[in-house]
Amino acid sequence: MTVMRKVLFFLPVLMFLTALFANARAEENPFAMGWQAYQQGDFVTARKYWQPLAEGGNALAQYNMGVLYAEGRGVPADRARAMAWWRQAAKGGYLAASHNLALALIEEASLKGNRAAAAEALRLLRRAADGGLVRSQYSLAQMYAYGLGVERNDAIARRLLEKAAVSGLAAAQYNLAKFLRDGRGGPRDLAAAAAWFEKAALQGHVRAQSRLAVRYARGEGVRRDPVTALAWATLAAGEGEELAAENVKALRRSLSPAAIAAADAKAARLRDRIAASRKML
């Protein structure tokens, strides 16, 4: 028997055994069973697996129970219960729970004018951001950038955006690019702005694609390149971005048929690249 034949013979056996063991492991792991049910859209079953774990003190299960209640999945939506689960998970040090609890408190503050809730939200977000939770760094940056619940401070906002952007959060990359473009919270840096717009654009961030098109059209922070500008504007316009749609019209009027064809081809390549990177996530 050749090596290839041996491989072909044993492969199905190996696959069967792998599946068997994987299933056995899932049976032993109620959290995984809950996860599997959740991904199948069976939220009632997910809750049945997670609730006992949560009641037993598992912070991750407590956090997920909070999400189920917040979103009304498998249970009637109930913000108070969601917050109670997140509060328990946050006490257990689970940062995503601090984050969601903070946002729920901000909702309370907005709806009821509750200042104490806003202050607690800020403490929780700071804790999660300091602990390295990228989403909290971004949320906190937004609060400082707009002066919401805190005194507006562009320098702090920019530092937080830098942290979140480096971690790969497209929204943070886009906002950091705007800060760099406009010189908010630090010196203006058009090259860095264009680079961050591009990173976000390549993750499919539509407004970043639109703003990047403008950079290329004007040659700000990058070498002027109307073909690349049209490619990015085309992608953003396709997602309903109005500024990009206007720029597509203007660029198409000013470019030759050959340049337009090159831009369309480039847009198609960029679309494929973005789709491929999304599949890898």
Interaction site with other proteins (CB under 8 A): 35, 38-44, 60, 63-64, 67-68, 70-74, 76-79, 96, 99-100, 103-104, 106-107, 109-113, 135, 138-139, 142-143, 146-149, 207, 240
CB of 39 to other proteins, least distance (A): 5
Smallest distance from other proteins to CB 5, Å? 33
Nearer CB in complex with other proteins: 70/222: 70
Helix/strand/coil (H/E/C) assignment for every residue in the chain? CCHHHHHHHHHHHHHHHHHHHHHHHHHHCHHHHHHHHHHCCCHHHHHHHHHHHHHCCCHHHHHHHHHHHHHCCCCCCCHHHHHHHHHHHHHCCCHHHHHHHHHHHHHHHHHHCCHHHHHHHHHHHHHHHHCCCHHHHHHHHHHHHHCCCCCCCHHHHHHHHHHHHHCCCHHHHHHHHHHHHHCCCCCCCHHHHHHHHHHHHHCCCHHHHHHHHHHHHHCCCCCCCHHHHHHHHHHHHHCCCHHHHHHHHHHHHHCCHHHHHHHHHHHHHHHHHHHHHHHHC
Min CB(258)–other proteins separation in Å:
31
Q: How far is the CB of 272 from other proteins (least distance, A)?
A: 17
Rounded distance between C-alpha atoms, residue 20 and residue 14, angstroms: 10
- Judged by beta carbon, residue 41 or residue 183, the one nearer other proteins is 41
Min dist. Cβ of residue 135 to other proteins (A): 6
Cα angle 202-279-138, degrees, rounded to a multiple of 5: 55
Distance in Å, CB of 143 to other proteins, minimum: 8
Residue 75 vs 255, nearer CB to other proteins: 75
Nearer to other proteins, 149 or 221 (CB): 149
Nearer to other proteins, 85 or 216 (CB): 85
